[in-house]
Structure 1
Amino acid sequence: MVIQYGITGTTAKGIAASVERGVTEGALAPEAALPPVRRLADELGVSPGTVATAYKELRRRGIVVTRGRGGTVVARVPAVASRRPP
């Protein structure tokens, strides 16, 4: 059974922090796909622009990469270290 990490937040900073926390804790593995901007915006009750700003900040910091129509995924080597032992 696959359990998906629930991204939370109502601001771009909050959403970005939630994704970063998921990566740091190991709940979002490298190459894990993030929800499309519009779908996540609907789930969180925020505007698509808010989610797009969060994703842009995460890209700038090297935590996620965008693959065009392939969506946004966690970077292979995210800029944050996992707290899980190797």
Structure 2
Amino acid sequence: MRTTSGASASSAEVSQVSASLVKSAVAAGAGRRGRPPPIPPDRTPATTRRHPPVIGEHTDEVLAEIRRARERERERDQ
């Protein structure tokens, strides 16, 4: 990641900035009415439980849904 000055930022620096922005956003909403976040963001580790889909992994399902939607539209228009 490049900063506005053109210098390269490390992932640790990016993480610190991200955490700071989240804390600022939470603090900014502190005076508002409503529910607080269910779990404080600083205690929720970011984890991935699944691998990202490979190219074309869901193509058949997506195309089938598009076909069903078009069939429903045709039936509705008749």
- Please classify the TM superposition score into its range, dividing by the shorter chain length: under 0.3
**Larger helix share, 1 or 2:** 2
Instruction: Find the structure with the greater CA-based Rg.
Output: 2
| Larger strand fraction of residues | 1
TM-score w.r.t. length of structure 2 = 0.25
Higher RCO (C-alpha under 8 Å, 6+ residues apart):
1
